[in-house]
Amino acid sequence: MVEIERHDYDVIVIGAGGAGLRAAIETRMRGLRTAVVCKSLFGKAHTVMAEGGIAASMGNVNSSDDWQVHYRDTMRGGKFLNNWRMAELHAKEAPQRVWELETYGALFDRTGDGRISQRNFGGHEYPRLAHVGDRTGLELIRTLQQKIVSLQQDDHAEHGDYEARLRVFAECTVTELLLDSGRIAGAFGYWRENGRFIRLHAPTVVLATGGIGKSFKVTSNSWEYTGDGHALALRAGASLINMEFVQFHPTGMVYPPSVKGILVTESVRGDGGVLRDCEGRRFMFDYIPEVFKDSYADDEQEADRWYSDPHGNRRPPELLPRDEVARAINNEVKEGRGTPHGGVYLDVASRLSTEEITRRLPSMYHQFRELADVDITSEKMEVGPTCHYVMGGVEVDPDTAAARVPGLFAAGEVAGGMHGSNRLGGNSLSDLLVFGRRAGLGAEQYLRQLGADRPEASEPDVDAAARRALAPFDAGESPAAENAYTVHAELQQIMNDLVGIIRDGDEMRSALESLAELERRSRNLAVMEGNRQFNPGWHLALDMSNMLLVSECVAKAAVRRTESRGGHTRDDHPEMDPAWRRTVLACSWRDGAVEVTEQEQPPVRADLLELFELAELRKYFTEEELTGIPDGST
């Protein structure tokens, strides 16, 4: 068989976004030899694209904020399907992780009196998002990279080798996890530049590979989001939960076609921007759902007063959670009140001064100027929903981030549970840091228990992984050869049209039939030209099996959940059903097929339930679940 380079570590972190880097920092600081593998350039992870900010209840702008309020908002945003323990840890630990980031060298925007500034975002009761203009992700990644480099400097001083205990394998794609009797033994992959294979041996793997958006046609996600970590985990024996919940961000660019889907940050609305139909009407007042009626203003005057007097007024409905706003926009367009290019208007020009817009939203200003020739200081933007985030992911233990496979951990967007059926903006960056750190701690704990009994991947398994990776080169001669770009385009169209923002049972069943046909065709995916040296056609052919597998999980779980909740809206089951709240759908991989099973959520701890008014809980829980719960005092 071909020669394969080998490296041995204690921990392999797959992914160098916020979650992966924070996990790697933790394991390295605890003395573990750590490899970070990423398929993009180091520093180019998805996290770098995050714009609006990181949610943490520091209470700098409104001192009423605390972890309990953040917890409540997160649970409400997720329609109470969140793993309550993850939401609790997240709300409690997020401020510490933000302050820690400043000790690593981050510098957030400040309030007048020098504290970290915080901005409003959808679903957050108080201004809560720490930010650096609208380029927060860049600062987060820059800082974590800086910390990695400083740890490597320490290693050089101590061992004469920068990479003695922490090495980054950039532009290196992992295609398989290696197992030994069901336990993690390492990972197999290839260098994107020259196509050579690489095997990394370690008893622990932290998956931090991000999301799945590239399975959809219109998406804010970059080329990396092909669901690799989701698929790696599933094939290794882990389960994925909540896969039916896909977030469509309300505001992506709709025009010109080449940039359709690119994100328009929620900060535009957080800082005062409003949504209007083709006649200039602020339509969001028509879309405040019953469960949120008490907290959102029902006329423009009150909504506008809220910006200067948040205590005496209710919030503008433009700041409802994302699922609500995305559905509203979808409906406006469907009913013929959209813009010429099939979106609605997002207007910040009539709301803020030119100086404020360019200071608070510099990236948006440049994005529209350069990509759409629109000056957002004087013109309205055209926006519409875009596939943005997947709430579903690897089922993990909330405290340790451990998956069901011994030695496997997952953090960040690839992990499921934290956000329930819908993520609040800003809660991802905090999730990455809180659970990235916890995954690192979990890996250390596992290694300590493991002692000298380290699993070892077998040679036949490694050879088989290499053979599978090379298969698209053999398929080229076959008359049944399929082009990866064609199959990808068909997959994206199916997912967009049939498993998108508004779903229907018959459409999804037809999507599943089409997915099965695509899966059959994908067995003949072929490299049409070139060899193993930087060959995007080959890379896509390998990514396709992940996208198809993950799409099957999304569609199968979505068919099974016969209600509408958060990022899962069904025309044929439009209501939220309290009987479904306690049920989590788990996907597993059995005999070459995705199997969906129903799992019961553990009951929410009583002291956390008591943070809510009983009247509010009644909107989400069954009467049986609420028996004996005293009325909350919030």
Which residues are the active-site residues? 249, 269
**17's tokens:** 């976004």
| In contact, 129 and 52? CB cutoff 8 Å | yes
- Sites for ligand FAD among residues 235-264 (CB under 6 A): 263
Give the type of residue at 142.
R
**Dihedral sign, Cα of residue 20, residue 94, residue 32, residue 180:** negative
Q: Examine residue 46 and tell whether it contacts ligand FAD (CB under 6 A).
A: yes
Cis peptide before 385 (omega within 30 of 0): no
Least distance CB 243 / ligand FAD (angstroms): 16
CB of 262 to ligand FAD, least distance (A): 7
Question: In residues, how long is the chain?
Answer: 634
Per CB under 6 A, 133 contacts ligand FAD: no
Task: Give bridge partners of residue 565 from the DSSP assignment.
Answer: 568
**Any contact of residue 143 with ligand FAD (CB under 6 A)?**
no
Residue whose Cβ sits closest to ligand FAD: 17
With a CB cutoff of 8 Å and minimum separation 6, the contacts of 614 are: 626, 629, 630, 631, 632
Q: How far apart are CA 56 and CA 502, in angstroms?
A: 31
CA 444 distance to own-chain centroid: 25
Closest to ligand FAD by CB, 514 vs 551, is: 551
Query: For ligand FAD, which stretch binds (CB under 6 A), given 49-57, 94-102, 108-116, 279-287?
Result: 49-57
Q: Give min distance, CB of 456 to ligand FAD, in A.
A: 22
Closest separation in Å from C-beta 421 to ligand FAD:
16
Q: Is residue 176 close enough to count as binding ligand FAD by CB under 6 A?
A: no
Contacts with 262 (C-beta within 8 Å, 6 or more apart), sequence order: 220, 252, 253, 367, 371, 386
Return the CA Rg of the chain: 24
Smallest distance from ligand FAD to CB 629, Å: 31
Q: Under the criterion CB under 6 A, does residue 567 sit at the interface with ligand FAD?
A: no
Whether the CB-CB separation of 7 and 33 falls below 8 Å is answered with no
Q: Is 444 a binder of ligand FAD (CB under 6 A)?
A: no
Which letter, b or e, does each residue of 587-624 get, where b requires 16 or more Cβ atoms within 10 Å of its Cβ?
A: bbbeeeebebeeeebeebeeebbbbbeeebbebbbeee
Q: Which DSSP letter does residue 290 get?
A: G
Instruction: Assess 53 for contact with ligand FAD (CB under 6 A).
Output: yes
Instruction: Tell me if 344 contacts ligand FAD by CB under 6 A.
Output: no
Using CB under 6 A as the binding rule, whether residue 209 contacts ligand FAD is answered as yes
Among 94, 174, 410, 498, binds ligand FAD (CB under 6 A): 174
Count of residues engaged in binding ligand FAD, rule: CB under 6 A: 43
Q: Minimum distance from CB of 221 to ligand FAD (Å)? A: 5
Q: Is 271 in the site for ligand FAD (CB under 6 A)?
A: no
- The answer to the question of residue 541 lying near ligand FAD (CB under 6 A) is no
Q: How far is CA 591 from CA 221, 358, 522, 594, in A?
A: 31, 55, 18, 8
Residue 186 within binding range of ligand FAD, rule CB under 6 A: no
Q: Is 86 in the site for ligand FAD (CB under 6 A)?
A: no
Residue 278 CB partners (closer than 8 Å, separation 6+):
337, 338, 339, 344, 345
Binding to ligand FAD by residue 224, rule CB under 6 A? yes
| Nearest alpha carbon to residue 64 among 132, 128, 131 | 128
Residues 365-394 that bind ligand FAD (CB under 6 A): 389
- The piece of 38-46, 74-82, 302-310, 462-470 that touches ligand FAD (CB under 6 A) is 38-46
Shortest Å distance, C-beta 270 to ligand FAD? 10
Residue 441 CB, shortest distance to ligand FAD, in Å, is 17
* Alpha carbon distance 177, 258 (integer Å): 36
> Is 367 or 514 the residue whose CB approaches ligand FAD more closely?
367
Per-residue binding string, ligand FAD, 286-325, x by CB under 6 A, is ----------------------------------------
Pick from 27, 136, 330, 421 the residue near ligand FAD by CB under 6 A: 136
Q: How far is the CB of 537 from ligand FAD (least distance, A)?
A: 17
Structure-token pair, residue 229: 């970590």
If the CB atoms of residues 37 and 587 are measured against ligand FAD, the closer one turns out to be 37
Q: What is the secondary structure of 82-136 as a DSSP string?
A: S-HHHHHHHHHHHHHHHHHHHHHT----B-TTSSBPEE--TT-SS--EE-STT-H
**Residues binding ligand FAD (CB under 6 A):** 14-20, 37-40, 45-47, 49-54, 136-137, 173-174, 208-210, 220-221, 224, 228-229, 263, 389, 412-414, 425-429, 432
